[in-house]
Amino acid sequence: MRRVAYVILVIIGIFLLVMPLSVPRFKSDAPYSVLNTGPKGTSSFGVLLYHSGKVVPILFPYSGSDFSSKNGTLIVIAPDVGFSKREVDVLRSFLSSGGTLLLADNFNEGNALLKALGVPDRLSREPAISVTYNSSSAYPVTRALSPSLSRGVSYLVLHRPAAILNAQHPLAFTSNATLFNGTYGAVPIIDEIKYGKGMIILVSDPDVFTNALFRQNEPFLRDLVSYLPGKVFYIDEAHHRDLNPYSSGTIVIQRAVNRGDVFYYMLFVALLAFFIESGLASRLLFAALGLALGILERLFGTEEEGLEDVIRKLEERGYDGDKLKRLVEEIETGSKLGGAHGR
């Protein structure tokens, strides 16, 4: 039976070494979601935030406890679900207390949120068209960035950006070769808005944050994250219409056989079999038990009482001590049990 057990142990061990490894993960196909790893997702930007500070996903409508860090940054990218009055009140309190809102949008719910917050900035209904582009006219570029957002940045790649109307403190513009409202000229695309003790960073092109443009825009995004005052990042997923936070997938990793691991495991099983079959295991077990019993006897054992002590205690109860001693002597010499013959 032991041989069968050893064989089963070997089979189970090798199976665990070579079986595929399944790793669960959350996923989403919602555009601009940090859980979306496709071209329209922002998962690469999410990784950048993770390495820059603490990331807290917001998967459900805002409540008073969502934003525990008053100097944190709430990141809302292309929201296509409206904000309730309660959510606006929570956000207004967060900003007034020193929080930061990074709102990146062009033609979704951004304007409604700005209006509810009482901010004069607005996003244009039509895109600003630029003839300055890198590889395709669909992706115009600009170099008109503030010094704090242009360290190591060659250019910023855009995709159908809106123009920011009534900008208060612009941090970036399109190129001068931009057509908007029938005229050519640079228009604001990033604006900084003071709000109580906090501020709003308004970006008029959410595609800047997508995985499709991350490689080109990574230097800019790093500068932008560094520019944000708080390093606790609340990522809003609650206002993406197609997000299902309970949707999950599985990554299956096929593990190759490592001969070294198999050899050492076989050696371990062989040594275990020798240890058991040679009796070393039982000897070691009995030795350990003997040692434990010895320690327990020393700690909790009691000394045996002598004969004199027993007779003295019986005398205290009224027995005749001399008779007891003679009785003990007769038992020891065998005089009452057949003398020296021991019968």
pTM of the model: 0.65
Of all helices (H) and strands (E), which one includes residue 190? Answer: strand 188-195
- Are 73 and 99 within 8 A, CB to CB? yes
pLDDT for res 154? 92
pLDDT for res 343? 42
Using a 10 angstrom Cβ sphere, with 0-12 exposed, 13-18 middle and 19 or more buried, the burial of residue 273 is middle
Give me the DSSP letters along 48-75.
HHHTTSEEEEE-S---TTS---TT-EEE
Is beta strand 232-236 parallel, antiparallel or unpaired with respect to 73-77? parallel
Q: Is the pLDDT of residue 234 over 70?
A: yes
Give, in order, the Cα–Cα distances in Å from 112 to each of 108, 200, 242. 9, 15, 20
pLDDT for res 251? 42
Residue partners of 325: CB distance under 8 A and separation at least 6: 311
Q: What is the mean pLDDT of the segment spanning 166-186?
A: 93
CA distance 321 to 317: 10
Count how many residues are written for the chain: 343
CA distance 343 to 160: 118
pLDDT for res 41? 93
- 271: Cα separation from own chain's centroid: 40
Name the 3-class secondary structure at 130: strand
Q: What is the mean pLDDT of the chain?
A: 80
- β-partners of residue 77 are 104
CA distance 139 to 145: 17
Tens digits of per-residue pLDDT, 16-63?
Answer: 555 554 444 556 678 999 988 999 999 999 999 999 999 998 888 888
Q: Hey, where are the domains in the chain?
A: 22-250, 303-343
CATH top-level class for 22-250? alpha beta
> Which of 201, 250, 218, 217 is CA-nearest to residue 25?
250
Which of 55-59, 115-119, 302-306 is modeled with the greatest confidence?
115-119
**Dihedral angle of Cα 339, 340, 342, 343, to the nearest 10 degrees:** -50
> Which of 118, 114, 70 is CA-nearest to residue 95?
70
Q: Assign residue 118 a region: left if phi > 0, alpha if psi is -120 to 50, beta otherwise?
A: left
Tens digits of per-residue pLDDT, 308-320?
Answer: 766 776 677 676 7
Name the 3-class secondary structure at 233: strand
CA distance 148 to 119: 24
Q: What is the mean pLDDT of the segment spanning 159-163?
A: 93
Structure tokens at 5: 């057990």
Give, in order, the Cα–Cα distances in Å from 180 to each of 24, 184, 273. 47, 6, 82
Instruction: Please state, as a whole number, how many other Cβ atoms lie within 10 Å of the Cβ of residue 290.
Output: 10
